[in-house]
Structures are given as structure tokens and as C-alpha cells.
Amino acid sequence: MSFPNLLATRKGRLAGFCALYVSEGLPQGFTATAVAIEFKRMGMTGEAIGSFAAFIMLPWAWKWIVGPFVDNLHFRRFGRRKQWIVGAQLGMLATLIAALLVFPKIETDPEGARTVIGLGLFTTILLINNIFSATQDVAIDALACNTLAEHERGLANGLMFGGAQAGAAIGGSGVLYLKGWLGFSFASLLAPLLLLCILSIVVFTFFERRLDDDASAPPAPFDVPPVTRALQEIASYLVIVGRTFFMTRRGFLGLLLAILPFGGMALSLVVSTVITPTLGMNDDEIATLGLVSSVVFVVCCMLGGFLSDRCGRRLTLAVFSAGTLLPTLWMGWQLHSAGWIYPVEAATDGAWPRHEALINAWWIAGLTYSVFQGLMYGIRTAFCMDIVEPRIAATQFTAYMAMLNLVTIYSYWWEGMAITPADHGGWGLTYLQIFLIDAGLGAVFLLVIPFVKPRR
């Protein structure tokens, strides 16, 4: 039985790359939403949840190291990129299943103190999962560059980003929905099962040219081994990035901009994970909010890119990023006005009383934030493309993407520390202080962006 080659037709390519990005979103949504909410219901502090999320995301900040190996190491009988995608997905599948088998448990001693058992092993396995996931991302983007026609790339990137968000919604909200019917352990199988389906699609319907048929130039007579060549490319990459970032005005300002948050982040990271259960929201409500927010985000992301092409990239990026500060500040004031100063402890049965007014306020703030965040995300990557130097575009752009991922990592960490009481190892800040700091950090970019001028 023969299978169609999705890479051979326009519709097949668009559908195929969308599915590949769904596979990237599945484990991220599972860990950032379903696992994080489960951790909170187990009694873990915001500091522990934030450190967990920041640690497992580290590979996304240095995935540029993988690029030279993906480019240079291949088995000649298989597709140059497909073998890396299949290998990475097998690793993602194996580590997800392994993580579910060692999911942390809570032990209570005779005095009532609760201890999380197995968190270190679980976190390490998910770190390895993200190494595979980041490697797959590099290989997918390389395959897209080699496969997509120029007139397909805009639509394909929109579908790919939408696919990633859909995967995150399924891995997060989907698992939370099923949890009420099947329990968390069985509901968590949703992510690896869908990943297995996408792996099957790649194996049976993605066919690249074999390296023997590649029209690229043959290697030099005294070519260096592939691993050595990859290491040389990494060293060359670091030299080029260093010169660009620290010896050119646009490069340095672009680097400064890349390590700053574009607007507020508290409504989407650890603070959100901690607050939603304590407001009295059940898992189905949290899942519904996440799903609706994802749909709003994807639509606005596409709209943001469209508007930036017509109204200017810097202007729209600044306006929409600043727009995320409004719901952030408003929600902080709503919590403060309602007397919510610090995170509240759960009742003896492990649940929290319901606060309808604050739940409604959170819905308003969350959806408003998703509108502005989606509009911003539709522009931010394009703006980075506008400021790179053409002769080193791929190198410089990869560095910017690494820095943007680093922002998410350190935001997870500081939010977790800020929302955890001092007697539990955190900073013990109030909700209002956290939202004010988040908005303040999210506004700093406004001081830099006017000076970062795109290339003519």
C-alpha cells in the first residue's frame, strides 16, 4: 500500500507543517497548563512551579547549538530533515510516557506536613523531552525553508503558529477536560497518543529527496568530519553574533530589546497558574478559559501581522505590547480592592471557596490580555526580521529567538519567587506588587524601541 507524499502538493505541505507544529504545542501545553494546575492542587508553591517551568524550558534558549548538527549529520538513505524529526518525536514520545510513569506524589507525615516525592526525576525527564522538542523545531524549520515555495511561506507560518497554539490547547485544556471523567493519569495519555498519530503521519507521508539525489555541491576532497564541521559552525556563530551585537548600534539595541518582555506576562505564566484554582475555578472552567483564550490569541496574531504591514511594524508593536499592560494593572487593582493581598491557603479538603466577582474579572482581564498579546505576537517575530543584517540574517535571527525564549524562562522564575510567601522560600510580595512590577518590566521596552530602526 502506497501513501501520498504530503510534501509534493501545496495543500499537503500546509497541512503537514501545521500538524508538525501541533506536535510541538502538545507537550508544552501539557506541562505549562495541565501539570502546573495539578501541581498547585497538590499544594506546591508558586516558587516550585515557576522553577519547574523555567528549568524544563532551558533547551529552547540554546537550541541554536543543535542547528549545525541538524545541518551536517545525516544517514544518506533517509531524508535529511525527516530523520531528525522522526528521531526527535520518538524521544518526545518516550520521555512523555516515562514522565507519566514517575509523576510526583504527595506524602503527608503524622504531623500533617506535606512533601512532594519524585519531583526531581520528573523534572529531569521533561527537560530531556524539551531537548527533543527544541531539536524537532530546528529540523521542522529547516525542512520548511527547503520545501515551501516563497508564495506559501506567509500562510504556512500562520498555520504553523496556529497549530502550535492548538496543540498547546489540546495538551493543556484537553487534558483538564478529560481529567474530570478519567482522572489525571489516564487523561494525560491524550498528549502522547496524539503525538504518536502525528509521528505516524511523518513516517508514512513525508518523503524528502534522498541525499544521493540532492543537487547541492559535493563535499570538498579534504572535507572535515561532520561533527567537527558542526563544532566549527558553532564557534563561527558565536563570533558573528558577538560582533553583531556588541559592535553595531542596531545589533546592540536589538539585543537589548530581545531580552526585555514585550508587555505584561503575569496573566499568562505562574501567577495565572496560582490564582485560577484559588479563585474557586474548577478544572473545566480553567480549561474553557484556556481554550477560548487560545482561539482569540490565534485570530489576533494573524490580524496583528496584517495590521503591521499597513501601519508600520514599530508603531503597532509598541501599541499592542503596551496594551497588555492595561488588563495587567486592572486585574492587580481588582484583587487588591477585594482584599486579596497574598495567595490564600486551601481548605482542609484541598479546595478553595468560590469568588464569583473575581472569577468574572479574571475572565475579562484574561481575554483582553489575549487580544493584545496575540496582536503583539503577530508582529514581534517580523520586527526581528526587519532589523537583522541580510548577510547574517539566519544567524542573527536565531539569536533573537533564543533571547525571546530566555525572557519567558526568567519570567517564570521571578514570578514564582514573587508569589511564594517568605516562610516558604519566596519573596512574599503582594498580588498588587507583583502586577505592578510585571507592568513596569513590560513597559521598559518602550524606552528602547524608538531607537531600534529597521533596515532600509
Q: What angle do CA 215, 218, 219 make, to 5 degrees?
A: 145
Nearest in space to 301 (alpha carbons), one of 105, 163, 95: 163
Domain ranges in the chain with CATH number 1.20.1250.20: 8-206, 229-456
**What is the pLDDT, as a whole number, of residue 234?**
78
Res 175 pLDDT > 50: yes
Region 8-206: CATH code: 1.20.1250.20
- pLDDT at residue 218 above 50? no
Q: How confident is the model at residue 112, as a pLDDT?
A: 64
Q: Which pLDDT belongs to residue 427?
A: 94
pLDDT digits over 8-25, tens only?
888 898 899 999 999 999
CB 83 within 8 Å of CB 74: yes
**Angle ∠(100,173,295) on CA atoms, nearest 5:** 140
Nearest to 355 by CA among 279, 431, 271: 279
pLDDT of residue 213: 46
Cα–Cα distance for residue pair 120/126, rounded to 1 Å = 10
Q: Is 359 in contact with 338 (CB distance < 8 Å)? A: no
Whether residue 279 is predicted with pLDDT greater than 70 in this model: the reply is yes
pLDDT digits (tens, 9 = 90+) for 306-336: 888 888 888 999 999 999 999 999 999 999 9
- For residue range 331-383, list pLDDT tens digits in order: 999 999 999 998 777 665 667 889 999 999 999 999 999 999 988 987 887 78
The answer to whether residue 216 scores a pLDDT higher than 50 is no
Gap between the Cα atoms of 123 and 58, Å rounded:
12
Q: Which of 355, 343, 340 is nearest to 280 (CA)?
A: 355
Give the CATH number of domain 229-456.
1.20.1250.20
Where is average pLDDT lowest: 147-156, 292-301, 426-435, 441-450?
147-156
CB 417 within 8 A of CB 47: yes
Distance (Å) of CA 373 to CA 164, 299, 376, 395: 16, 11, 5, 26
Whether 449 shows a pLDDT value over 50: the answer reads: yes
Quickly state the pLDDT bin for 277 (edges 50, 70, 90).
very high
The predicted model gives 192-206 an average pLDDT of 93
309: cell is 504591514
pLDDT at 231 over 90: no
Confidence of residue 456 (pLDDT cuts 50, 70, 90): low
Residue 391, pLDDT > 70, answer: no
For the segment 66-107, what is each residue's pLDDT rounded down to a tens digit? 878 887 777 766 667 889 999 999 999 999 999 999 999 888
Half-sphere exposure of 435 (CA within 13 A, CB side): 24
- The CA–CA distances, whole Å, from 26 to 125, 172, 312, 431 equal 16, 8, 33, 30
Q: Tell me the chain's radius of gyration from C-alpha atoms.
A: 23
Alpha carbons 118 and 14: distance in angstroms, whole number? 41
